[in-house]
Chain A
Amino acid sequence: MRAPGPQERGSGDFSKKPITSASQMTEISPLLPEALFNCCDPDQFHFQTTADLQELTEFVGQSRAQQAVHFGVGIRREGFNLYVMGPPGMGKHTLVRHFLDDKAATRPSSSDWVYVNNFNQPHKPRALRLPSGRGHRLRLDMEQLIDELATVLPSTFESEEYRTQMQAVEEELKEQQEHAFSELGEEAARHDIRLFRTPSGFAFAPMKGEEVVGPEEFEKWPKEEQKRIEQVVAQLQEKLQGIIQRIAQWRKESREKLRALNREFSRSAVGHLIEELKAQYADLPGVLHYLDEVEKDLVDNVRDFIRPKEGAEALPGVAGETDPRALHRYKVNVFIGNGERKGAPVVYLDHPTYLNLVGRAEHIAQMGTLVTDFTLLKPGALHEANGGYLMLDAHKLLTQPFAWEGLKRSLYAGEVRVESLEKMLSIVSTVALEPEAIPLDLKVVILGDRILYYLLHEYDPDFAELFKVSADFEEQVDRNEETNQVYARLIGTLIRKESLRHADRFAVARIIEHAARVVEDSERLTTHMRSVADVLREADYWAGEAGREVIAAEDIDKAIHQQVYRAARVQEHIYEAISRGTILIDTEGAKVGQINGLSVIELGDYSFGQPSRITATVHIGEGHVVDIEREVELGGAIHSKGVLILSSFLAARYATDHPLSLSASLVFEQSYGGVDGDSASLGELCALLSAIANTPIRQSLAITGSVNQHGQVQPIGGVNEKIEGFFQVCKARGLSGEHGVVIPVSNVKHLMLNSEVRRAAAEGKFHIYPVATVDEALSVLMGLPAGERDESGQWPEESLNGRVQVRLTEMSLIRQTFAESVKERLRDEGGEGDIELEGK
């Protein structure tokens, strides 16, 4: 049995008002008020307000994460992308962004990318890489070229020179035709035959003067003459067929000549303009190749520049419809234009849909259908961040359909391809744009929760391949004089960033105390920046309301109080129910097998403690402790584990020389929801031992803590909320000086209790008892020494353990006697007499 001294329970001598404990009547002293709260001394700060402080450039307590980010960003190897993890509000985004911005500024500017028409396969636009800023230049140059051609080409084709040459070609054809028909006509005329045009073709007929020889007259002609005419006509028809065939050939040749003429004139007009452009882009082979293709296409499609006026004929030899968007194909879509920006890009994609990541081909409505082309290609964040850094939120990324898949595909392929979802999923097979893929060279930084990191690592083998570096943000930092100073600067930095009133040193001290309470540890401070910033923002408001120029400690208090007040509706209803006796909680007197346990209820980002009555009953049985919560499936696994530990504890301590012949049941009274956690196991054990020993427990006390098989008390969470919760209930009924809470000694360092509790403790109206063992807890709760085994292994009879031992021995004997009497009765009745009683 151990009597914990003050040194073991925290820093300094916190004990007072001892309570008798254990066999030696060791006293368990309640904690001193100083132990209930680790004050931050404002005098340690040598500034009046945060305005006097230098801005903090590094993050408090995040050296591990910073180094990981530094490494992840610095290493230029495949798959070394970053996952930055930590709860929301830690300032991950700010830190990473800040770091990336600095890093990006030292890196060379990323390339411009433009999409241009693929003249051979228009549905596969070509991507061209240009040095930063020259993509826009190329677009302007091409626009200017097309503008100039729109003037130059029409004037070229309206020139006298062109018209003369064109008419010469036409005349040649006409003359060929005329000549052929003229010769044929003359030959026919020599035989008094003429060529006639019929509705569908031509026919030869013998003539007499200006009239066709009629059938009757023809019949009168000599047979030889008839035959001769027929033969001549047949020969002429053959020749006519030959002419018709030659005309088709001549017309084809004529068209070819006109095309050649057009090409010649086009080339003369286009050539020098293209050459000028090529000189400007001589260092870019891709652009030169494109300009060659443009020139060829311009020469072949000169008609697009010479749109005929309404009612006028098209350019000869190049008949064909004029597409109103025809000149569109010479445009340059500046897909990624860096303009004058220096350094690599840093992009944060707030809405990481699949299309926002990999880009899209937009459509426009045209004649009732949706059409697209290379000018409607829009970049995604992967394109925009190419050559630099892309930041993504893990949760948003994973909740957008196919966004994660799209990202992985691009990272694996090392290129990003604008591809519609339906195409990617092979849902449709219509002809769609297939733009040339753009090589990818960027670092992806995903920011998210730890749970997502571990889940991805567990279930997605690609994740480990692609995100090899993790940066884990600390949620707490040691609290000492040095970190207090840094924290003060951090507060000053947040104030500047948010343009708030500066805080005086008392307010800074108060925020530091609050930062310790947030992490429930008097020796540590939170690094959750959002919590701190929110308090500062609210305090700034209250300072304004109070007409103060700087934020004072009162404003911090008010901000914290108001945060609690706004969230405490449910809490107040529960406490009211306890005060009105709806929820049965005794706070005075003593009861056997009944104890005040403490639980924490979490509602959103607010949590509070609630006292719960735990009762235990015992009877003769087979050594089982029944957890009624578990039986009705209201208890969680951890709670069940705690209860099973009680059985082991009882058997190990009290049933070494006889069977444990009791059955017990434990209940969380008036609990209609789930119960989990083992923080009530100490209370349950005390209630159980009280029931066995038939010794009452002080109801003015509540207890929290878990217990192991050896009776050692282990720390629990939410100690501050639990104490404050029971305090509120007791305060409502009137503090008598008997009230208090028994807590694990290992939780003393976590105490950051509110001022009300501290004040009551200082006035001796409320007490916090730290215990290290169940025996200490029993002695505090029952006012009896727990007792210690003597040399023969027996407990002192008047000690609590002695009472338990005696009672359990009695129960064992009763059970044994009962079993023997049953055996005898059965034997008397001629039975087998071999009844085996379980547990015997």
Chain B
Amino acid sequence: MPEDPTGRERAPGAQPQAERRHVKLRRILLALDSNEDEAALSAAAALAEALRASLNGLFVEDSELLRLAGLPFIQEVTTAVVRRLEQSQLERDLRVQAERLRRSIERFARERRLVWSFSVVRGALLTAAMSAAREADLYVLGRHPLPYGAAGAPRPDGPLMVIYDGSVSAAHALEAAVALSRTGEGLLVVLPADAEPTAAALQQDAESRLLALGRPAHYLATPHLTPELLKQALRTYRVRLLFVGESCGLCEPTALRPLLREAPLVIAR
């Protein structure tokens, strides 16, 4: 909704009352590649259940991986062996992962009685996800952790973090976070504001929205929200899931990569 008057240019707290209505988030896209992320899958399913939305799985076969497998000297290094990376083997492995994801989505959907779909595309995760996400209201990106990075993983009982900049997509992100948050669970709202009065206004706006949803939150105001700063916050608070609006300026592949190393991401449109 680029022409929507509720864009981020507008002063926080000045939204018309009509905009406070809960927007129906009908379609959730879960995009994963060979970095399987159970937490992202669970979060997407839980969101779909909470919002009564459809769950659409998207498995992205990394085209770069397939290309490198074509090189004659490429070897795959695993914990156990070093072996020739065959393209046919790689394709088989990706199909296995895709099928595993499909079954998981099917199982979650059946358990929660959700409408679901599943598709496989070839390309780069972020590009493919953003391309497919045009039809989705929320899209969930799986975490890309460090290799062997069990340490420092998000805590299963860690807080949910929302970047709230007053935009419509940020409001949707906030609403989705509230829908997913459990009773008593921490909700961290990051307010990217250049000056104290603006931060206060954003907090007031967020508070009023959360009040309507009956959920309290903690607020963090930051004047310059950079991906590195956010990454540090995600690590410090062991954030379970990060919610952002697509208009927050962080949804570029270069900005997303470091964030995805720390936590799965939910992008609201």
Interface residues of A (CB under 8 A from B): 170-171, 173-174, 177-178, 181, 196-206, 211-215, 218, 229-230, 233, 237, 240-241, 244, 247-248, 251, 254, 309, 311-313
Digitize B49-89: 1 where CB-to-A-CB distance is under 8 Å, 0 elsewhere.
00000000000001011011111111111110010010000
Complexed CA–CA distance, A196 and B70 (Å): 14
Complexed CA–CA distance, A372 and B73 (Å): 61
Complexed CA–CA distance, A766 and B97 (Å): 118
A-B residue pairs, 4 tightest by C-beta: A201-B78, A205-B68, A199-B93, A312-B157
Chain B residues with CB under 8 A of A241: 77, 82
B197 at the interface (CB under 8 A from A): no
Interface residue tally of chain B, by bracket? 35 or more
> Quick check: B64 and A196 within 8 Å, CB to CB?
yes
> Quick check: A178 and B146 within 8 Å, CB to CB?
yes
Chain A residues with CB under 8 A of B18: none
> Quick check: A199 and B64 within 8 Å, CB to CB?
no
Complexed CA–CA distance, A198 and B92 (Å): 12
> Quick check: A244 and B148 within 8 Å, CB to CB?
yes
A794 CB to nearest chain B CB (Å)? 127
Complexed CA–CA distance, A712 and B216 (Å): 119
B152 at the interface (CB under 8 A from A): yes
B54 CB to nearest chain A CB (Å)? 25
> Quick check: A309 and B68 within 8 Å, CB to CB?
no
Complexed CA–CA distance, A417 and B150 (Å): 50
Supposing A212-B64, A311-B157 touch, asked if A197 and B71 sit within 8 A by C-beta, the answer is no
A308 CB to nearest chain B CB (Å)? 8
B156 at the interface (CB under 8 A from A): yes
B214 at the interface (CB under 8 A from A): no
A343 CB to nearest chain B CB (Å)? 58
B201 at the interface (CB under 8 A from A): no
Chain A residues with CB under 8 A of B65: 196, 198, 203
Complexed CA–CA distance, A414 and B75 (Å): 73
> Quick check: B67 and A177 within 8 Å, CB to CB?
no
B185 CB to nearest chain A CB (Å)? 10
Q: Looking at the complex, which one of B79, B93, B152, B235 makes contact with A173 (CB distance below 8 Å)?
A: B152
> Quick check: B151 and A251 within 8 Å, CB to CB?
yes
B181 at the interface (CB under 8 A from A): no
A242 CB to nearest chain B CB (Å)? 10
CB-defined A-B contacts under 8 Å, sample of 6: A174-B149, A196-B68, A205-B67, A205-B71, A215-B67, A237-B82
Complexed CA–CA distance, A201 and B72 (Å): 18
Supposing A170-B152, A202-B77 touch, asked if A181 and B147 sit within 8 A by C-beta, the answer is yes
Complexed CA–CA distance, A247 and B69 (Å): 26
Supposing A196-B65, A203-B68 touch, asked if A237 and B77 sit within 8 A by C-beta, the answer is yes
Complexed CA–CA distance, A203 and B67 (Å): 12
Chain B residues with CB under 8 A of A199: 34, 90, 93-94, 96-97
Chain A residues with CB under 8 A of B67: 205, 211-212, 214-215
Complexed CA–CA distance, A29 and B149 (Å): 123
Chain B residues with CB under 8 A of A233: 73-75
> Quick check: B76 and A215 within 8 Å, CB to CB?
no
> Quick check: A201 and B76 within 8 Å, CB to CB?
yes
Q: Looking at the complex, which one of A214, A244, A311 makes contact with B79 (CB distance below 8 Å)?
A: A244
Q: Looking at the complex, which one of A170, A178, A212, A248 makes contact with B68 (CB distance below 8 Å)?
A: A212
Supposing A198-B90, A198-B93, A312-B156 touch, asked if A205 and B151 sit within 8 A by C-beta, the answer is no
> Quick check: A215 and B72 within 8 Å, CB to CB?
yes
Chain B residues with CB under 8 A of A230: 73
B2 CB to nearest chain A CB (Å)? 27
B244 CB to nearest chain A CB (Å)? 23
> Quick check: B77 and A244 within 8 Å, CB to CB?
yes
Residue of A nearest to B62 (CB): A196
B180 CB to nearest chain A CB (Å)? 13
> Quick check: A215 and B146 within 8 Å, CB to CB?
no
Q: Looking at the complex, which one of A201, A202, A215, A247 makes contact with B71 (CB distance below 8 Å)?
A: A215
B155 at the interface (CB under 8 A from A): yes
> Quick check: A202 and B152 within 8 Å, CB to CB?
no
Chain B residues with CB under 8 A of A203: 65, 68-69, 74-77, 85
Q: Looking at the complex, which one of B82, B149, B157 makes contact with A309 (CB distance below 8 Å)?
A: B157
Complexed CA–CA distance, A248 and B148 (Å): 9
Residue of A171, A205, A233 ringed by the most chain B CB atoms within 10 A: A205
Residue of A nearest to B157 (CB): A312
Residue of A nearest to B149 (CB): A177
Complexed CA–CA distance, A218 and B149 (Å): 33
Complexed CA–CA distance, A196 and B65 (Å): 7
Complexed CA–CA distance, A177 and B73 (Å): 26
